[in-house]
Amino acid sequence: MSKREVLARLRDAIVNLDIDGVKNAAREALETGLTPYEAIMEGMAKGMEVVGQKYEAGEYFLAELIMAGETMKEGLSVLEPHMKAGDMKHIGRVVIGTVEGDLHDIGKNVVVTLLTASGFEVIDLGVDVSAEKFVEAVKQYNPDIVAMSALLTTTMVNMAKVIKALEEAGVRSKVKVIVGGAPLTEEYARQIGADAYGRDAVEGVNICKKWASKK
Ligand code: B12
């Protein structure tokens, strides 16, 4: 099979949410001599773009977005062991986490997958992440972007605490801050001093991509 055919298979497997198909196509990609980077960016990520478009067009819903994320993860699990450090040219670095007191991570994980597929290096701090942990991670990893998720009205206030802590630590101006999660609004994001609000993962990642291209 030609490289082009394998890339098309990778793309289609993501669009069709086909876990077995994506694993097989990822193995074929390696056999055909594609690099894992090419398989991700020119194959699976193209599929993710189509999934995003279908979501925006109302053809796909959240369930498909989550499944596409899972499918992508399965494909990555085949390719990752074959990736050499420095193989992947990252377009930016993102520190992400669900804020303190909040254990919801399904949406955040979709954001992580889409960011990774778009070429970002993502440091995922997980759930229930305190302001101190965000600040430590910013000092340690020197990211371009800090992304926060909250699904509870009682925890979204903790996003403001993180931004304040970044200010107090003198690192706020070094990063762009994007926030997301079901209870948030554009207005709330502005009010707490975030640089952007992502209504969903697709919009959020598009904003991050725009920032990366302006670097
Ligand atoms: C699944 C779920 C749970 C699971 C979480 C499992 C997990 N691993 O995440 C469990 C069962 C653990 C849970 C627990 C609780 N939950 Co709950 N949960 C939900 C549920 C049903 C779905 C959330 C979800 O995953 N959606 C799917 C994802 C893909 O969507 P999403 O998270 O919104 O993310 C999308 C966008 O928001 C955006 N996004 C999200 N994060 C970010 C970040 C950035 C940077 C960007 C750009 C975008 C972005 O992109 C995503 C994809 O497009 C919601 C109801 C609902 N329909 O939202 C209630 C809900 C969020 N839960 C609720 C509650 C009350 C609770 C509990 C307090 C219940 C209890 N009494 O114990 C606990 C709290 C636990 C805690 N401390 O966090 C309420 C919150 C009410 C409120 N406004 O505060 C909701 C709304 C249900 C309800 N109607 O009452 N929950």
Would you state the pLDDT for residue 109?
87
Rounded to two decimals, what is the model's pTM?
0.85
92 against 86, higher pLDDT: 92
Average pLDDT over every residue of 125-148: 98
Instruction: Kindly state if the Cβ of 100 falls inside 6 Å of ligand 1.
Output: no
pLDDT at 215 over 60: yes
Would you state the pLDDT for residue 80?
82
CATH topology of domain 92-213: Rossmann fold (3.40.50)
> What contacts 36, CB < 8 A, 6 or more positions away?
29, 30, 79, 80, 82, 83, 87, 88
Mean pLDDT of the chain, nearest integer: 93
Q: How far apart are CA 36 and CA 123, in angstroms?
A: 20
Instruction: Kindly state if the Cβ of 52 falls inside 6 Å of ligand 1.
Output: no
Average pLDDT over every residue of 132-137: 98
Pick from 32, 31, 29: nearest CA to 41: 29
Instruction: Kindly state if the Cβ of 21 falls inside 6 Å of ligand 1.
Output: no
pLDDT range class, residue 87, cuts 50, 70, 90 = low
Average pLDDT over every residue of 200-214: 93
Question: Ligand 1 atom 69: the closest Cα is on which residue?
Answer: 152
* E strand or H helix that includes residue 36: helix 36-38
Strands of the chain, DSSP E: 92-98, 120-124, 145-149, 176-180, 196-198
CATH topology of domain 3-82: 1.10.1240
Question: Which atom of ligand 1 approaches the CA of 203 most closely?
Answer: 47
The domain limits of the chain are 3-82, 92-213
pLDDT range class, residue 110, cuts 50, 70, 90 = confident
Question: Ligand 1 atom 82: the closest Cα is on which residue?
Answer: 152
**CA 182 from centre of chain:** 17
Question: Ligand 1 atom 46: the closest Cα is on which residue?
Answer: 180
pLDDT at 85 over 60: no
